[in-house]
Chains A and B, each alone.
Chain A
Amino acid sequence: MSNKLKKISTSFQQWLLLIVGIAFIVTLVFLGQYQTKLFTDSANNLLNIYIKDVRHDIMDVTDKNLLILTRAVATEVNNADKITSELLTGMLEKYNVTEINYFSSTGVILASSNADFVGYTIGEGGVQTSEFWSLLGARTEYVQRFQPIGFDAQRSRKYAGVTLAAGGFIQVGYDEEAYYRAIEVAINEVVKNRHVGESGFLIVTDSAWRIISDRANNKNQPVTIVTAMTKDLTTIGKDEMFEEGIYIDGTLQRCFCMHNEIEGYKVIAVYPYSEAMVSRNVSLKVMTVMQILIFGLLFVMIFLLVRRLIVKNLHQVNHALSAITDGNLETVVNVRSHEEFDALSNDINATVDTLKRYIKEAEERIDAELAFAKSIQHAALPSVFPPYPERKEFEIFATMHTAKEVGGDFYDFYFVDDENLAFLMADVSGKGIPAAMFMMTAKTFIKSFAESGLSVEQVFTHANAKLCEGNDAGMFVTAWLGILNTKTGQVQFANAGHNPPLVRHADGTYEYLKSRAGFVLAGMEGVRYRKNELTLAPGDAIYLYTDGVTEATNLNEELYGEERLQKILEQHKDATPETICAEVKKDVDKFVGEAPQFDDITMLAIRYEGTEN
């Protein structure tokens, strides 16, 4: 049965494994998402930094370029005799710019390459021109961002201004087409020498998303075709990271992208997803290993702890229970490590105490019943001595010393007629109440047949037949029956498997009467018994006993035996039956010593005195 049932530790192990497993997966998923977010943020930062760098560089390049041009124009104007619109218009082509204005020290355009602007005052057209107020104060040079012009919000232009020696300043503006050409080389440098991470890159396009510079010289091609970008970039906010499949070295790769613009350029940064997540994957791997270690350790520790606390204690309880089951009711369960085990121990101990009490009560009841049975058994045997004070032809004495258990020994004697005395020694197989009850039956049958005047062998033959009826328990009786003719001293006897009696001869010696015995009574139907005879002379005696005498055992497991019995009888060859019984009992007790008595010790002695006295 124990093979089919699971051990607690196994069940616990399985559940613990499941819980730890779930905890492990949940933690791993959480960490995975957290790490992904972390590295996405970091990709975002990276793209931002690159975009910012590129914008900064482009700004630098354009600012420098326009400032150089403007300084050159200013130098030429300073050297001119008179500043006229014609002079300024004439310089447009030379410097490849779109617009040149001359502002007076009061901020009014006095001359311009565009005749419409003459007379215009700073700030009139809005924010764009008002930034140039600074040149009328402390500053000598100023470069403005590429932005919609104050005059016409639909057009964008980049302006720079340099103050003139004679006061006022020169303002030079150009369109994107103009400076695209001028700073192409510089822009190429900005992009080509940069890559985002290992394989990410930057693209600069014009305002119509046509490539100006990228890694592979796809100049003038639409950025969407080159990169396979499907999203409409105009709908995506500046500096806002988005994911897109991008062609990198001929393969489409998932990438993080970002765009922004500066000075009419569009800047696009691309960073492959796989590269952004390389570090994430590494940290995830490290964390997974760490987690396996931590959860593994946790699992082992909890498992060991539970085994220590519960399984070990349960084993202790079981061990004690096994001892109790095996019959050792003195076993005390003493597992006190925890409240639950303490309660369990107390309960088991209380149960065992109750059990012990019941057993003790039952034992006491059984003992009382056995004692009662014993007294009934004793009462059935003749116990008044001398039984026939008026009879001088013989003297008879018998004793039965019962062992603790009720046994099946019995003796009996009675006159079957005026001069014939029947005397009997018998032993029922086994012990206890069944033996005692069988003994009563056997005694009754034998007595009734003997009293009906049958001879000894017929008494046994009939008693055997009766006792065999319904003897399902297979009990049997060994018996020795003698009938003494008190006038002649003649004894007729039959033996049904009983121990041979001892007979005293005239010379004072005792001899075992080893006649061939018949089969035990109640053993088998149809058994026939033989009659034997012997004659007692006055002073002769017959001593009957059960195996309780010859098989009395001492502490060395030695049997009292027939020899010792014969010897003690011969030592008391002239004793009365009463003395004989007492002396034999004394000798047996001496031999047995401290060893417990297992069997009834029953004996009967009869001495023939003759008819003379």
Chain B
Amino acid sequence: MEIEKALNGTELTLKIIGRLDTVTAPELEACLKESLDGVANLVMDFAALDYISSAGLRVILQAQKTMNKQGDMLIKNVNETINEVFEMTGFVDILNIE
């Protein structure tokens, strides 16, 4: 997995490339932990995300919870496979998916 970070004022865009699974989820978790201070708008670009496991969902959920307190989180470019996972797990109800 690779993470491309782009900070524009208080808007942080994270592009996640590859697989978000048990092995790589802690990496994203660490990245979020150090980057979210002062961020009002978090955008997660999933255009290049191939796979998400429950560990990955957990990190997304945590990010959503954090952003609920300090602003908004938007997930965009979700492909069909990932969207199925979001639907199956009910994440579609709590995430702001574009």
Closest to A553 in B: B51
A437 to chain B, nearest CB (A): 15
B9 part of interface (Cβ distance < 8 Å): no
Interface SS majority for chain A: loop
Which of the residues B22, B58, B62, B91 comes within 8 Å of A519, measured between beta carbons? B91
A225 CA / B21 CA spacing, docked (Å): 110
**B62 contacts A474, C-beta separation under 8 Å:** yes
Report whether B94 and A497 are in contact in the complex, using a CB–CB cutoff of 8 Å. Answer: no
A496 near B90 with CB under 8 A, answer yes
0/1 string, B46-70, CB within 8 A of A gives 1:
0000000111011001100100000
Please indicate the chain B residues that have their CB under 8 angstroms from the CB of A197 in the complex.
Answer: none
User: CB within 8 Å of B: which of A516-548?
Assistant: 517-520, 523-524, 527, 547
A427 within 8 A of B: yes
Asked whether A598 lies within 8 Å of B89 as measured between CB atoms, the reply is no
Assess the B61–A499 pair: CB atoms within 8 A.
no
- Could you tell me which B residues sit within 8 Å of A by CB distance? 22, 53-55, 57-58, 61-62, 65, 87-91, 93-94
A478 contacts the other chain (CB 8 A): yes
Q: In whole angstroms, how far apart are the Cα atoms of A517 and B89 in the complex?
A: 6
A-B residue pairs, 7 tightest by C-beta:
A497-B89, A519-B90, A429-B54, A429-B58, A497-B90, A474-B62, A517-B90
Known interface pairs A519-B94, A523-B94, A547-B54; A474-B89 also in contact (CB < 8 Å): no
Name A residues whose Cβ lies closer than 8 Å to a Cβ of B: 427-431, 474-476, 478, 495-500, 517-520, 523-524, 527, 547, 551, 598
The residue from A430, A431, A520, A551 contacting B89, defined by CB atoms under 8 A apart: A520
A selection of 19 A-B contacts at a CB cut-off of 8 Å is: A429-B54, A431-B55, A474-B61, A476-B61, A495-B90, A496-B90, A497-B88, A497-B89, A498-B88, A500-B88, A517-B88, A518-B93, A519-B91, A520-B89, A520-B91, A523-B61, A527-B94, A547-B53, A547-B54
Residues of A within 8 A of B87 (CB): 517
With both beta carbons as reference points, the residue of chain B lying nearest to A477 in the complex is identified as B54
A518→B93 CA distance, assembly (Å): 8
On chain B, the residues within 8 Å of A478 by CB distance are: 54, 89
- Given contacts A474-B61, A598-B22, A518 and B90 within 8 Å (CB-CB): yes
How many Å lie between the Cα of A514 and that of B94 in the bound state? 19
Residue of A with least CB distance to B61: A523
